[in-house]
């Protein structure tokens, strides 16, 4: 085996093996938040996830769940890791193959061959450890499998291109269409690779477009597709099954009678057949839904409901021509910002922070490689450039237009553009190859009489393609084999260049390891366990959205935890099909609605209050009435709209119990909540065995926000203990709350003030000082420390403490002008220290900022008239903490 092929195989293995090793090492062992819980559950029970469904994904997930090692959740999560590693492997292959086209008309030197393979490896590594791609690789998500199918389809397209003219080669094109049709049952976004592949097809075989049979078939089938599109999206008319079958029969007859012209050797016809056969996998949804699995979103049990499910009608219409946010915001904040987060090389360099010039310059290197790669691709091979340009435009600007994001999305949407980052990484690899090839030529010795090799070769717009899986085919005898690798200093230079570009591509792995290491992430699993376990037998719990529902579905369906509890998702409760499921499937929920009533149920406006009464409101009211308090009903603390039940709720940890009678506001079952918090709940990955915050497990913004519900329950208990005169016990509980969410300023403020209440000013000062250091833009800590220092300075006769306290109060007023507290305290301190003109200026500043405040205006008027009375004291309550304004 020659050195070039050996290195090709080594780097191919590395492009697959290294990402797979990293993904397995950082893989989520159980259920995470968002859609993964739903996908694991539906894979295990062959259920139906949210529209438009993912039948191929769930069937493959079911196969993975049968592997006899690790947990079921780990197995389904591993499917993403394996698919992601395959995606990086085929990225390596298509980049190396594309780069070889650049040199197919030149001698295949070892340096050029190495540059091609290293470029492929760099592209694979940049992709493998880009933020969003890595996110999907370590949990059950459809995007990893979608990415693999996209890059595999491109590799097949290049494979077809390499073998133009060979007998039966066009079958590869039919296979590609079949794969893309099936891939729509993984994720609809996979088919976005089709335009780029079509461009590749058109460039390579333009003669197909002069074939009358091709266009005749395209016209017939295109007219039928247009008819379906018009009825579904424009007129919204349901197409009856019988007329649809009749039209299909007519088309079949036409093709049967004209099979020589329309079928035999007609590529478009075979594409259509492949499309139909591949799409038939979607019938799984129709069949499986009729068997009523535990998770059966959309319930597509009939032809019409199946069609609506595939068209995602549950989510309502969306017109991309009616922009839902400013286009500039959608481009900059919802796309370019995400692009800038993907390939982070470093967060700091010595004393230089993330926003410093040097750090920004280093992090710009991948994008410089991207620009160089795109430029060199255009200069050297216009055909592959056209293909990748179309892919970039579709996956980037095209998706921005189509997705039409709002400026108030419920979560970051970077994952929608994962395939865009994929094609950016491909050009980054090409840029790295160009740099390495330039270094190779720079170190090549110039032979006497030989032409200079430093000039860039002419564009290879019509060069013969080279095989994708091996070094180029044999060249003329004079250059039949790659030349031996360079020796001495040239070899060292090439080695250093290779190490440099590969090392750059590995930096995102080092920088992103902690944020992507989920091998001890049990927070979502524990959240589900902690919500369900304490509930009464056969209870009903109302949840709000994905994160307080999907982990519960997972733990019930996969781990069989508390199957007796019925989880009711309020978002889905607006749909009649979901109410039917709750009413008819075990564990059943009592409703009085008949099928006829559910067919007619609609939101309406209350004549008395003017509020919209949604279907979920009607359903909850009917459920409570029909239940007659026979089964305990709970409301998750994550539900923002408490459905008019506020006065009937009592807190029990992560849920409110709905009581049959009003119990007042802020009612807490102290004994039950304390038992849950300290004896029932699990906190693995959140706090360690000493209940100290576990800094070794990364919590993203979503996870950290949800675990604040634990802290909120602690705070409510502390408040009740304070009301009962148990101040020290309240402080103990608050300290536990701070350990769980140490980055929540409000908790530190509450804890410090609780120490003040028991007279421990020194401990309060310590807490406020630490909080001020950690949250330098939080005005409340400047205010609290300013009061403490000014008062202590007055007691101890320390002018330095007085000065320091006044400076801190002044800083609080500069940071935040919303509250009169800051200004009232600063005014009082200045006035009592004899700086009366400055004190009145503080009131003037407040009045200018809040001209609507009559009390502030009254204070200003009073003390402007009192400037001559230097000995007059500040008004009582000037240092009080009550907020106004």
CA atoms of 219 and 194, how far apart (whole Å) = 19
C-alpha distances in Å from residue 845, one per residue of 159, 796, 820, 823, 861: 73, 31, 11, 9, 13
Q: Calculate mean pLDDT across residues 818-826.
A: 90
Give residue 383's pLDDT: 93
Whole-number CA gyration radius for the chain: 33
Give residue 72's pLDDT: 97
Least-confidence region, from 83-92, 244-253, 447-456, 492-501: 447-456
Average pLDDT, the chain: 87
CA atoms of 657 and 642, how far apart (whole Å) = 12
Q: Give yes or no for residue 420 having a pLDDT over 80.
A: yes
Residue tagged 């990955």 (tokens): 685
**Residue 284: its H or E element:** helix 283-289
What are residue 635's DSSP bridge partners? 542, 656
Residue tagged 């070794």 (tokens): 696
Q: Do residues 646 and 665 lie in contact, with contact meaning Cβ atoms separated by under 8 Å?
A: yes
What six digits make up the tokens of 409?
């999305």
CA atoms of 470 and 93, how far apart (whole Å) = 9
Q: Give yes or no for residue 457 having a pLDDT over 90.
A: no
How many degrees, rounded to 5, is the angle at CA 121 between CA 459 and CA 385?
30
Start-end of H helices in 343-487:
357-363, 365-380, 382-393, 399-403, 418-443
Give CA torsion, residues 663, 665, 671, 672, to 10 deg: 80
Question: Burial code of 442-473, b = ≥16 C-beta within 10 A, e = fewer?
Answer: ebbeeeeeeeebeeeeeebeebebbebeebbe
Give residue 476's pLDDT: 36
pLDDT band for position 266 (cuts 50, 70, 90):
confident
Q: Give yes or no for residue 652 having a pLDDT over 50.
A: yes
CA atoms of 155 and 468, how far apart (whole Å) = 8
Give residue 488's pLDDT: 58
Give residue 467's pLDDT: 40
Give residue 680's pLDDT: 96
Q: Calculate mean pLDDT across residues 73-83.
A: 98
Give residue 468's pLDDT: 37
CA atoms of 711 and 733, how far apart (whole Å) = 9
Closest CA relative to residue 735, chosen from 779, 685, 691, 783: 691
Q: Calculate mean pLDDT across residues 173-198.
A: 92
Using DSSP bridges, classify how beta strands 540-543 and 633-636 pair: parallel, antiparallel or unpaired. parallel
Give residue 26's pLDDT: 98
Q: Give yes or no for residue 804 having a pLDDT over 90.
A: yes
pLDDT band for position 2 (cuts 50, 70, 90):
confident
Residue 153 zone, left/alpha/beta (φ > 0; ψ -120 to 50; rest) = alpha
Least-confidence region, from 213-222, 505-514, 676-685: 213-222
Closest CA relative to residue 97, chosen from 368, 465, 396, 423: 465
Residue tagged 């090839």 (tokens): 437
Q: Give yes or no for residue 169 having a pLDDT over 60.
A: yes
Q: Name residues whose C-beta falls within 8 Å of residue 12's C-beta, 6 or more positions apart in sequence.
A: 89, 92, 93, 117, 120
For the chain, give the number of residues: 885
Q: Do residues 561 and 555 lie in contact, with contact meaning Cβ atoms separated by under 8 Å?
A: yes
Q: What is the 3-state secondary structure (H, E, C) of 79-130?
A: HHHHHHHHHHHHHHHHHHHHHHHHCCCCCCCHHHHHHHHHHHHHHHHHHHCC
Give residue 834's pLDDT: 85
The proportion of the chain whose per-residue pLDDT surpasses 90, expressed as a percent, equals 66
C-alpha distances in Å from residue 136, one per residue of 84, 121, 186, 362, 464: 8, 20, 14, 26, 37
C-alpha distances in Å from residue 454, one per residue of 58, 293, 310: 53, 66, 56
Q: Give yes or no for residue 475 having a pLDDT over 70.
A: no
Q: Do residues 463 and 105 lie in contact, with contact meaning Cβ atoms separated by under 8 Å?
A: yes
Give residue 715's pLDDT: 95
Q: Do residues 821 and 882 lie in contact, with contact meaning Cβ atoms separated by under 8 Å?
A: yes
Give residue 432's pLDDT: 96
DSSP state of 575: S
Residue 319 vs residue 762, higher pLDDT: 762
Q: What is the 3-state secondary structure (H, E, C) of 146-212?
A: HHHHHHHHHHHHHHHHHCCCCCCCCHHHHHHHHHHHHHCCCCHHHHHHHHHHHHHHHHHCHHHHHCH
CA atoms of 581 and 468, how far apart (whole Å) = 52
Burial class, 688, CB count within 10 angstroms (exposed 0-12 / middle 13-18 / buried 19+): middle
pLDDT digit string, tens, across residues 194-248:
889 989 988 988 887 777 767 766 676 666 566 555 554 444 556 666 776 676 7
CA atoms of 249 and 573, how far apart (whole Å) = 40
Q: Calculate mean pLDDT across residues 99-105.
A: 84
Q: Do residues 589 and 568 lie in contact, with contact meaning Cβ atoms separated by under 8 Å?
A: yes
CA atoms of 163 and 160, how far apart (whole Å) = 5
How far, in whole angstroms, is CA 480 from its chain's centroid? 50
What six digits make up the tokens of 543?
């949840």
Using DSSP bridges, classify how beta strands 540-543 and 566-569 pair: parallel, antiparallel or unpaired. parallel
Give residue 236's pLDDT: 52
pLDDT digit string, tens, across residues 554-606:
999 999 999 999 999 999 999 999 999 999 999 999 999 999 999 999 999 98
CA atoms of 221 and 215, how far apart (whole Å) = 10
Q: Give yes or no for residue 609 having a pLDDT over 50.
A: yes
CA atoms of 630 and 139, how far apart (whole Å) = 39
Q: Give yes or no for residue 121 having a pLDDT over 50.
A: yes
Q: Calculate mean pLDDT across residues 250-264.
A: 69
pLDDT digit string, tens, across residues 726-780:
999 999 999 999 999 998 899 999 999 999 999 999 999 999 999 999 999 999 9
CA atoms of 682 and 860, how far apart (whole Å) = 55
Give residue 734's pLDDT: 95
Q: Please give the backbone phi and psi of residue 264, each rounded to the nearest 5 degrees, phi first.
A: -65, 125
Q: Do residues 126 and 430 lie in contact, with contact meaning Cβ atoms separated by under 8 Å?
A: no
Q: Please give the backbone phi and psi of residue 650, each rounded to the nearest 5 degrees, phi first.
A: -135, 130
């Amino acid at each position: 085996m020659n050195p070039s092929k050996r290195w090709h195989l080594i780097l191919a293995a590395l492009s697959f093996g290294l990402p797979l090793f990293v993904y397995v090492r950082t893989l989520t062992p159980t259920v995470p938040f968002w859609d993964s819980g739903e996908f694991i559950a539906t894979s295990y029970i062959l259920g139906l996830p949210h529209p438009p469904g993912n039948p191929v994904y769930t069937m493959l997930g079911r196969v993975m769940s049968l592997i006899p090692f690790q947990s079921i959740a780990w197995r389904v999560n591993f499917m993403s890791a394996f698919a992601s590693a395959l995606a990086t492997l085929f990225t390596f292959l298509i980049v190396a193959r594309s780069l070889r086209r650049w040199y197919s008309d030149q001698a295949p030197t070892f340096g050029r061959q190495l540059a091609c393979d290293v470029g492929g490896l760099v592209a694979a590594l940049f992709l493998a450890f880009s933020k969003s791609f890595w996110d999907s690789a370590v949990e059950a998500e459809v995007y990893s499998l979608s990415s693999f199918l996209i890059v595999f389809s491109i590799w097949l397209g290049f494979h077809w291109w390499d073998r133009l003219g060979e007998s039966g080669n066009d079958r590869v094109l039919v296979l590609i269409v079949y794969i893309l049709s099936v891939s729509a049952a993984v994720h609809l976004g996979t088919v976005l690779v089709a335009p780029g592949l079509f461009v590749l097809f058109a460039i390579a075989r333009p003669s197909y477009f002069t074939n009358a049979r091709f266009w005749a078939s395209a016209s017939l089938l295109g007219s039928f597709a247009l008819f379906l599109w018009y009825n579904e999206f424009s007129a919204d008319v349901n197409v009856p099954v019988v007329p649809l079958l009749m039209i299909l029969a007519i088309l079949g007859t036409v093709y049967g009678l004209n099979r020589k012209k329309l079928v035999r050797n007609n590529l478009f016809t075979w594409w259509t057949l492949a499309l139909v056969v591949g799409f038939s996998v979607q019938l799984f949804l129709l069949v499986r839904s009729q068997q009523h699995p535990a998770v059966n979103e959309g319930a597509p049990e009939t032809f019409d409901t199946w069609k609506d499910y595939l068209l995602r009608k549950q989510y309502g219409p969306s017109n991309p021509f009616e922009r839902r946010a400013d286009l500039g915001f959608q481009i900059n904040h919802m796309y370019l910002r995400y692009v800038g987060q993907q390939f982070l090389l470093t967060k700091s360099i010595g004393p230089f922070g993330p926003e410093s010039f040097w750090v920004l310059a280093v992090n710009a290197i991948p994008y410089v490689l991207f620009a160089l790669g795109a430029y060199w691709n255009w200069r050297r091979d216009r055909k592959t450039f056209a293909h990748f340009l179309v892919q970039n435009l579709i996956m980037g600007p095209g998706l921005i237009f189509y997705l039409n994001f709002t400026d108030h999305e419920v979560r970051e949407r970077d994952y929608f553009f994962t395939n865009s980052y994929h094609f950016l990484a491909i050009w980054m690899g090409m840029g790295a190859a160009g740099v390495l090839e330039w270094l190779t030529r720079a170190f090549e010795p110039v032979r006497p009489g030989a032409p200079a090799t430093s000039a860039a070769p002419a564009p290879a717009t019509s060069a013969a393609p080279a095989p994708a899986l091996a070094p180029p085919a044999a060249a003329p005898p004079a250059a039949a084999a790659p030349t031996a690798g360079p020796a001495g200093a040239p070899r060292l230079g090439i080695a250093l260049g290779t190490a440099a570009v590969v090392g750059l591509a590995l930096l995102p792995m080092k920088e992103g390891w902690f944020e992507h290491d989920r091998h001890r992430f049990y927070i979502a699993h524990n959240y589900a366990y902690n919500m369900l376990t304490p509930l009464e037998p056969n209870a009903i719990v109302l949840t709000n959205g994905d994160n307080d529902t999907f982990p519960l579905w997972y733990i019930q369906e996969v781990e069989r935890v508390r199957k007796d509890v019925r989880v009711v998702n309020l978002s889905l409760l607006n749909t009649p099909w979901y109410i039917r499921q709750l009413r008819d499937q075990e564990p059943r929920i009592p409703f009085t609605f008949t099928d006829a009533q559910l067919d007619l149920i609609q939101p309406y406006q209350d004549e008395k209050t003017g509020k919209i009464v949604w279907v979920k409101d009607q359903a909850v009211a009917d459920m409570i009435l029909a239940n007659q308090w026979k089964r305990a009903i709970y409301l998750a603390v994550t539900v923002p709209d408490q459905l008019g039940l506020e006065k009937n709720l009592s807190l029990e940890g992560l849920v409110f119990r709905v009581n049959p009678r009003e119990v007042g506001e802020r009612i807490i079952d102290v004994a039950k909540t304390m038992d849950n918090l300290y004896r029932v709940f699990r906190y693995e990955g959140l706090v360690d065995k000493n209940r100290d915050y576990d800094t070794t497990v990364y919590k993203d913004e979503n996870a950290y926000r949800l675990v604040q519900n634990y802290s909120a329950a602690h705070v409510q208990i502390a408040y009740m203990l304070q009301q009962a005169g148990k101040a020290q016990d309240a402080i103990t509980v608050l300290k536990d709350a701070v350990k769980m969410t140490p980055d929540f300023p409000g908790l530190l403020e509450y804890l410090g003030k609780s120490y003040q209440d028991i007279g421990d000013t020194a401990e309060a000062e310590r807490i406020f000082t630490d909080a001020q250091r950690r949250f330098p833009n939080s005005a409340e800590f400047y205010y609290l420390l300013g009061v403490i220092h000014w008062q202590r300075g007055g007691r101890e006769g320390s002018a330095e403490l007085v000065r320091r306290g006044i400076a801190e109060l002044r800083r609080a007023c500069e940071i935040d002008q919303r509250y009169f507290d800051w200004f009232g305290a600063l005014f009082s301190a200045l006035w009592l220290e004899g700086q009366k003109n400055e004190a009145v200026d503080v009131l003037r500043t407040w009045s200018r900022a809040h001209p609507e405040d009559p009390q502030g205006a009254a204070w200003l008027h009073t003390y402007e008239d009192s400037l001559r009375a230097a000995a007059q004291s500040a008004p009582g309550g000037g240092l009080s903490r009550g907020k106004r304004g």
